[in-house]
Amino acid sequence: MKLGSRLCVAGVLLLAFASGHAATSYVKPDPDGLPPQDVRDLPYGDVLFYFFQDDYFDSITRLLAARQLDRLPHTQGEAELLLGGLYLSLGEHVEAGRIFEALLAGNVSEAVRNKAWFYLGKVWYQRGYLDEAERALRQVSDKIQPRVDAERCMLLAEVMMKRGRYDDAAAELSHWRGPPDWTAYAQLNLGVALVRAGRLDQAVAHLDGVGRMQTTSEELLALKDRANLALGFALMQAKRPADARPVLERIRLDGPYSSKALLGVGWADSALGDYKRALIPWLALRKRNLLDSAVQESYLTVPYAYDQLGATGQAADYYSAAIDSFDAETRHIDASIEQIRAGGLLDRLLTDDKQKNLTWYWQLSTLPQAPESRYLYQLLASNEFQEGLKNYRELNFMSRNLEQWAADVAAYDDMLDTRDKAYQERVPKADAALAATDLAALTRKRVEFESRLNEIEKTNDVAALGTAEEQRTWARLERIQAYLAAHPDDPDLAEARDKFRLMKGVMYWRLSESFKARLWNERRSVKELEAALVQTQRRELAVRQARTAMPRDDGQYAARVAAVRARIEALQKRLGEIRERQNEYLQAIAIKELQNQKRRIETYQIQARYELAAIYDKTSDKAEQPKPAPAKAAPAAADAPVKAPP
């Protein structure tokens, strides 16, 4: 699959966050007029984080969760457009189409609407939904970039050709106004459409123009060969071998169409009666891989040419060698069919599939070392098998996800068990702590403290708020005062009374100076104590409620975990059944392809036996017998529509 096919879905997805008004730094402005958009919802940014890593599956999961929790208030439209593109990335065309149609029916810009319909039609075409593809592509208005409009025109023509509407396809392509690098594809498809519509004279100019173009691009060189092959076989079918031969000779010998070209050149020489010249390309073709249908036919055309030249001995030898080669190949095909029926074909094909992310543009790049692999190149290149293999790969991906989720659910069981064990261990300690804590007594003490502070403030008892040392000193002064009061007439205590008055005055001044500050600190401590008591009461209530609710909560969690586990098991069972059916479907396609190859080889084998028998009869009877020509390769495959570069 070309890089542009990968960019197809990427373009759809980029619409989801490039359709606003404010510029940001995370995406460049869209060349088709879609300005970038600020990400104002954090969950949407999380979705884009996984999207930019091509992790579309996790993007969908997070986007659906955010949408369900109503966490996308500012990006609902962009999120829906992104979700539709993500569904397309997984091949969910029905769901993606529903999202696109619902979104496009709303208030969105024409640029967004055009691009959404265009990319939806393109992906539907890639998946083989031709009716839906044509309907979507026709929804695109004329106000679209020329390059996108050219690709839309090309896709519409290809859809029509696949549905057998060749005149309509030719009419669509006759008004081509696309960029230069697409013109060759358009001209080739226009020529093929005209050939299929029976208008060869009009097709020659278009196909010949592509076949003669000057280029060094490998892609355009292959396109050039394709045009020459299509034109050459079309001329052969029109019984114009002299015109067909130089066209077929323009095809490269190392290109992908060289085998059919060699076969066609030989048939052109044969049709002109020059069998000796026809042997040159046919003998070169016979040295190639027998799996190629053109090579298989050369196993008959070479002895046919020798027979026409009168070299019956060489013709018989080549026919005998062809019969032996066909016999060996038939046995190999039978063994391969048995290998496929034994199962494991798809698992072998996906053995090296290391991708962790699920993307729609994935394709098989290498073949496993298996007996059937050598016969499946053509099948694996077909869109039908590739799409079926992608579906099977997606089923494997989902199966791995379910296995991971099942393991996660088991972890929740462990968490619940650990939680229950911790609960059983902590409940006795909590009960002991609750029993040892008399909150009512603590509350009464707090009230007593507050009353005491009020009394101290009212009586201005400065000594009551002194430090321990200050209170001890004040108590000594009180005792001295009492002693002096008990001996008022003792003249020896006169000096002591003067010192006492000085010491008590100093002490009182110190206590009085800091009394208000100390009173404020004490009241603050009482308030803090009150707040701590309130918090403790709340926590005590919460602990008692949690102690009561814990068994019930565990039961609810256990029920939810059990429900999720049951759902996963049901999905795994359903997924296993679908995988099995998909496996059988793809195996049936592979077996059918091998059987078709076997029938073609058997047909060639029967013809080779018939020709060999005819040679033996001619040799024994010395009589000439008319020799039917081998079946020519059908050129229909060379006239298939060609996709333009993205």
> In CATH, what number is assigned to the domain containing residue 37?
1.25.40.10
Position 94 in a domain: yes
Do 75 and 157 reside in the same domain of the chain? no
Position 156 in a domain: yes
Share of the chain above pLDDT 90, in %: 15
Average pLDDT over residues 39-53: 86
Average pLDDT over residues 95-109: 75
pLDDT for 634 beyond 90: no
Do 112 and 36 reside in the same domain of the chain? yes
Position 32 in a domain: yes
Tally of domains in the chain: 2
Conformational region of residue 27, where left means phi above 0, alpha means psi within -120 to 50, and beta covers everything else: beta
Measure the CA–CA gap between 302 and 317, rounded to whole angstroms. 11
Can you give the pLDDT at residue 240?
A: 92
* CA angle centred on 120, ends 114 and 122, rounded to 5°: 100
Position 574 in a domain: no
**Closest listed residue to residue 44, CA positions, set 105, 106, 86, 98:** 86
Can you give the pLDDT at residue 425?
A: 75
Can you give the pLDDT at residue 235?
A: 93
pLDDT for 640 beyond 50: no
Average pLDDT over residues 325-352: 80
Residues 6+ apart with CB under 8 A from 507: 470, 473, 474, 477
Can you give the pLDDT at residue 638?
A: 43
Can you give the pLDDT at residue 270?
A: 92
Can you give the pLDDT at residue 475?
A: 87
Can you give the pLDDT at residue 636?
A: 40
User: Where is the domain boundary, 143, 166, 181?
Assistant: 143
Can you give the pLDDT at residue 22?
A: 33
Average pLDDT over residues 501-505: 86
Map tokens 């007593």 to a residue.
448
How does the average pLDDT of the chain come out, rounded? 79
Can you give the pLDDT at residue 587?
A: 86
Conformational region of residue 282, where left means phi above 0, alpha means psi within -120 to 50, and beta covers everything else: alpha
Can you give the pLDDT at residue 27?
A: 37
Conformational region of residue 33, where left means phi above 0, alpha means psi within -120 to 50, and beta covers everything else: left
pLDDT for 335 beyond 90: no
* CA angle centred on 522, ends 520 and 526, rounded to 5°: 115
pLDDT for 197 beyond 70: yes
Measure the CA–CA gap between 165 and 194, rounded to whole angstroms. 11
Do 186 and 206 reside in the same domain of the chain? yes
Do 102 and 43 reside in the same domain of the chain? yes
Residue at 212: amino acid letter: R
Q: How far is CA 104 from CA 109, 123, 547, in A?
A: 9, 17, 54
Position 95 in a domain: yes
Residue at 30: amino acid letter: D
Average pLDDT over residues 446-459: 84
Can you give the pLDDT at residue 245?
A: 92
Structural domain boundaries, residue 80: 1-143
158 near 138, Cβ under 8 Å? no
Average pLDDT over residues 507-516: 86
Position 108 in a domain: yes
User: Where is the domain boundary, 104, 122, 143?
Assistant: 143
pLDDT for 359 beyond 80: no
Pick from 214-218, 225-229, 439-443, 603-607: least confident: 439-443
Do 3 and 136 reside in the same domain of the chain? yes
More confident residue, 376 or 75: 75
pLDDT for 524 beyond 60: yes
Average pLDDT over residues 194-201: 90
638 near 176, Cβ under 8 Å? no
Map tokens 């002591």 to a residue.
496
* Radius of gyration over every alpha carbon of the chain, rounded to an integer in angstroms: 45
Do 91 and 195 reside in the same domain of the chain? no
Average pLDDT over residues 531-549: 77
Q: pTM (2 decimals)?
A: 0.63
Position 27 in a domain: yes
230 near 207, Cβ under 8 Å? yes
Which spans in 130-287 are helix H? 130-137, 146-162, 166-174, 180-196, 200-211, 218-237, 241-249, 258-271, 275-286
**Closest listed residue to residue 207, CA positions, set 257, 248, 264, 256:** 248
Average pLDDT over residues 150-174: 88
Pick from 47-61, 165-179, 349-363, 508-522: least confident: 349-363
Map tokens 């099977």 to a residue.
392
Share of the chain above pLDDT 70, in %: 82
Do 122 and 223 reside in the same domain of the chain? no
pLDDT for 28 beyond 60: no
User: Where is the domain boundary, 76, 111, 143?
Assistant: 143
Measure the CA–CA gap between 132 and 257, rounded to whole angstroms. 33
